């Protein structure tokens, strides 16, 4: 058991002063942030359900993620394979500077089959495959002169997992002759509260995905009443990396009190490179129903059961200090940690109008109470678990995620689609609403093959905690960064009819 990893993310200090921090920013290194993120399901699916929800309508293969009963509306058997390209562009505003940064990722979005059994009346459909429903793509870059704090202040927070390696690399040192307390190497020798400043440059990236390997079935249980269910294995991966460089650009720290093999000198740069890799897996299950009032109008509802995710995390941090005379000190720490996350249930309601002179409309509203997310540590961390879950209950809230889309058949072979979505903020005191604009096309490439393309653009802004530190009055402070986030994803799917 690696208890220090809990202190790495600073969540105890975050919990000790929620009024100071939680209303102005979120912290991407908190377990609460990770847990809610892993339990979330964004809209990636496939090019059709990306735009037209599948709660009351059967569009693409991944409609079963919205409502497994939608599979009963498929009138043919088919196989499908899809790929996705995703890009994130962020503008980070920190220390009166704005820096743009972007990253992309590419991979499989879905693959599977649907088989529609021949029936005298009604329908019976089964299917299986993989559908990606979440992606974790963030990219932040900052650069500027900081006259308030230094990342090395973060290293000295009591209980920090960085403290030992920071001391071994001279990022921290004893601040008094009696060696009773440690301080930043950039503060030693200056009166309390006096800080010449430091040049900071950083890149922080997140990458990853989440998806379901599922089997599902649906049937017309009674006339015009479709019922369906799906079970599967939910899995995903999230990678976080921070590269944070501090530079004594103007040689403000020119003391010779640090003894090295080459004589007294001072530090020129300090580099922190830390990584967190998280892998998770869980069992997933859904039930759904659709009622067709007419050939053109239907209502649907589905329920996704809570899932219990097993999360395995690996944390690696390296601090490298380079001195003016070229001497380099480097030390690292590697830890592993496992815990459980219970994701909240999800209720999906939807309606669809189909084939009205070639026009189809589909809308949905999904209810999720993120405050119901729960973390389960081992028994010896019960108090930390209790505090963390209390924090989630207080800081996260219930939302209605809204989506709507339209498709028009220009010809029998060509379809045009467009849609809009709103994902309200999951935070009680933070306004981080994400708006999604989507569009796409679909067309036949042969008698038995169809290609669908979907594009979605989303945007939101937030204030995030870059790092926390104690000031000279031993009060917790935060360095905050404003982030304008723009995401673009492009999904392409080939669908081969088997009939």
Tell me: pLDDT of 274 over 70.
Answer: yes
Give the orientation angle of helix 382-395 with respect to helix 31-39, to 10 degrees.
60
Phi-psi region of 87 (alpha: psi -120 to 50; beta: other; left: phi over 0): beta
Whether 90 contacts 140, CB under 8 Å: yes
The percent helix, strand, coil of the chain (3-state, each to 5) is 15, 60, 30
Q: Is residue 406 part of a domain?
A: no
pTM exceeds 0.85 for this model: yes
Rg (alpha carbons) of the chain, rounded to whole number: 26
Whether 219 contacts 289, CB under 8 Å: no
Of the given ranges (22-36, 76-90, 456-470), which has the lowest mean pLDDT? 22-36
Of the given ranges (170-184, 233-247, 297-311, 328-342), which has the lowest mean pLDDT? 170-184
Q: How confident is the model at residue 21 (pLDDT cuts 50, 70, 90)?
A: very low
> Three-state SS for 422?
strand
Quote the pLDDT of residue 5: 45
What mean pLDDT value characterizes the chain? Answer: 89
Name the residue range of residue 155's domain.
4-394+412-417+432-497
Of the given ranges (25-34, 254-263, 320-329, 480-489), which has the lowest mean pLDDT? 254-263
Q: Is residue 423 part of a domain?
A: no
Tell me: pLDDT of 19 over 50.
Answer: no
Q: Is residue 299 part of a domain?
A: yes
Summarised one tens digit per residue, pLDDT across range 123-141 is: 999 999 999 988 889 999 9
Question: Domain count of the chain?
Answer: 1
What mean pLDDT do residues 67-94 have?
95
Q: Is residue 124 part of a domain?
A: yes
Q: Which residues pair with 300 in a beta bridge?
A: 290, 350
Q: Could you write out the DSSP letters of every residue in 226-287?
A: EEEEEEEEEEEEEEEEEEEEEE-TT-------EEETTEEE-EEEEEEEEEEEEEEEEEEEEE
Quote the pLDDT of residue 9: 43
Q: Is residue 277 part of a domain?
A: yes
What is the percentage of the chain residues whose pLDDT exceeds 70?
A: 92
Tell me: pLDDT of 360 over 70.
Answer: yes
Residue 442 sits in a domain whose CATH number is 2.40.160
Q: Is residue 145 part of a domain?
A: yes
Q: Which two tokens stand for residue 77?
A: 């058997």
CB count, 10 Å around CB of 253?
19
Q: Is residue 407 part of a domain?
A: no
Q: How confident is the model at residue 42 (pLDDT cuts 50, 70, 90)?
A: confident
Closest to 439 (Cα-Cα) out of 45, 48, 85: 48
d(CA 228, CA 114): 13
Quote the pLDDT of residue 257: 59
Give how far Cα 462 sits from Cα of 25, 92, 137, 427, Å. 7, 10, 15, 11
Strands (E) across 293-371 are located at 297-304, 308-323, 328-342, 346-356, 359-369
Quote the pLDDT of residue 212: 93
Quote the pLDDT of residue 491: 96
What mean pLDDT do residues 358-365 have?
96
Q: Is residue 357 part of a domain?
A: yes
Higher pLDDT, 425 or 25: 425
Residue 422: φ, ψ to 5°:
-135, 125
d(CA 296, CA 298): 7
């Amino acid at each position: 058991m690696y208890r220090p990893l809990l202190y790495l993310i600073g969540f105890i200090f975050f919990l000790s002063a929620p009024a100071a921090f939680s209303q102005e920013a979120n912290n991407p290194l908190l377990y609460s942030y990770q847990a809610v993120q892993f339990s979330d399901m964004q809209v990636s699916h496939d090019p059709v359900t990306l735009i037209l929800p599948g709660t009351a309508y059967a569009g693409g293969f991944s409609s079963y993620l919205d409502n497994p009963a939608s599979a009963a509306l498929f009138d043919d058997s088919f196989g499908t394979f899809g790929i996705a390209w995703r890009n994130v562009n962020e503008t980070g505003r920190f220390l009166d500077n704005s820096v743009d940064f972007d990253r992309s990722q590419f991979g499989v979005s879905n693959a599977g089959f649907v088989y529609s059994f021949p029936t005298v009346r009604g329908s019976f459909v089964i299917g299986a495959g993989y559908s990606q429903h979440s992606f974790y793509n963030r990219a932040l870059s900052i650069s500027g002169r900081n006259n308030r704090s230094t990342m090395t202040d973060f290293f000295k927070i009591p209980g920090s997992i960085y403290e030992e390696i920071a001391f071994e690399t001279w990022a921290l040192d004893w601040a008094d002759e009696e060696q009773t307390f440690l301080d930043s190497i950039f503060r030693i020798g200056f009166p309390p509260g006096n800080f010449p400043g430091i040049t900071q440059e950083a890149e922080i990236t997140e990458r990853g995905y989440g998806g379901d390997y599922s089997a599902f079935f649906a049937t017309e249980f009674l006339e015009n009443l479709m019922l369906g269910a799906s079970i599967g294995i939910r899995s995903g991966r999230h990678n976080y990396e921070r590269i944070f460089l501090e530079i004594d650009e103007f040689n403000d720290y020119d003391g010779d009190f640090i003894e090295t093999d080459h004589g007294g000198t001072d530090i020129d740069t300090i580099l922190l490179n830390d990584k967190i890799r998280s892998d998770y897996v869980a069992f997933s299950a859904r039930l759904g129903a659709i009622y067709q009032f007419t050939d053109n109008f239907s209502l649907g509802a589905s329920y996704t059961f809570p899932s219990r995710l097993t999360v395995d995390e690996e944390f690696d941090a390296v601090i490298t200090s380079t001195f003016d005379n070229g001497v380099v000190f480097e030390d690292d720490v590697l830890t592993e940690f496992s815990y459980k996350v219970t994701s909240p249930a999800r209720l999906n309601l939807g309606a669809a109008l189909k084939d009205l002179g070639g026009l189809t409309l589909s809308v949905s509203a999904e209810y999720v109470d993120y405050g119901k997310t729960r973390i389960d540590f081992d028994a010896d961390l019960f108090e930390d678990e209790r505090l963390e879950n209390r924090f989630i209950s207080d800081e996260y809230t219930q939302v209605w995620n809204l989506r709507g889309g339209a498709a028009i058949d220009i010809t029998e072979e060509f379809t045009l689609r467009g849609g809009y979505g709103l994902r309200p903020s999951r935070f009680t005191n933070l306004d981080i609403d994400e708006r999604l604009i989507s569009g796409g096309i679909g067309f036949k490439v042969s008698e038995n093959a169809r290609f669908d393309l979907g594009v979605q653009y989303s945007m939101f802004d937030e204030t995030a905690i870059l790092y926390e530190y104690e000031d000279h009055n031993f009060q917790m402070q935060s360095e905050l960064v404003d982030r304008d986030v723009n995401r673009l994803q492009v999904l392409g799917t080939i669908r081969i009819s088997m009939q």
